[in-house]
Amino acid sequence: MTRVSFRQQILRVREDAIVASVNRLLAEKGFDLMTVDEVAADVGIAKASLYKHFPSKEALAAAAMVRVLEQGWARIEALGAQQALAPADKLREVVRWCVGKLLAGEMPSLPSQNSSLRAELVGSMPFMDLLMRVSERLGEWIVAAQQQGAIDPGLPSDLVLYTVFARACDPVPPVLRATGRHDDAEIVEWIVATCFGGLAAR
């Protein structure tokens, strides 16, 4: 087993703190409004020190996305081990997890149209590897749920996949919470219900 030096441990702890800060700031402010200066100040380090870990704002955002995908993959793996759970129910649990992270302020908010950020994400092997793993596993559950009639088999499976992914950046849960009339548990269940059942009366 390789021994990790004290210096490496310190660097790892600092990187964890940086990524946690970026994740929170991205959730609160979004990529465009977050600044590297803010991240450095939030962590309590010099901007020059931060750049030793992450060379750009885009690299910071990519690291935050890798962290969230790692957490998401762990949740998906745990759901996959539950043999008694139907594929459609596993997908519902993924949406519950996404909306819960969103309401907890732990889901990074990234712009869909930003060429430098997109290039950073596409060039990140950890990000692309995790994204492919997550997509493939959810895709398997979607196909199985369609075969079982739990999800409309006439819908393209990639449309269903993107609908599930979109819950991670859904603007509705924060707006509902801001009214002060609903608790998080209610909001999560409403989003799950409308995601899989639409708005038709039941």
Domains of the chain by residue range? 57-197
Residue 113 has a pLDDT of 81
**Biggest CA pair distance of the chain:** 60
Residue 60 has a pLDDT of 93
Question: Which secondary-structure segment (H or E) carries 86?
Answer: none
Phi, psi torsion values for 82, nearest 5 degrees: -90, 90
First to last CA, the chain: 57
Using DSSP's 3-state secondary structure scheme, residue 63 falls into helix
The tokens for 160 are: 């269903």
Q: DSSP letter string over 6-19?
A: HHHHHHHHHHHHHH
Helix then strand then coil, in percent of the chain rounded to 5, is 70, 0, 30
CA distance 157 to 141: 10
Assigned architecture for domain 57-197: Orthogonal Bundle (1.10)
Counting every residue written for the chain, the total comes to: 202
CA distance 75 to 121: 22
pLDDT in tens, the chain (202 residues): 567 676 777 778 888 999 999 999 998 888 999 999 999 999 999 999 899 889 999 999 999 999 999 999 999 999 999 999 999 999 999 999 999 999 998 888 888 788 999 999 999 999 999 999 999 999 999 999 999 999 999 999 999 999 999 999 999 999 999 999 999 999 999 999 999 999 887 6
Residue 4 has a pLDDT of 66
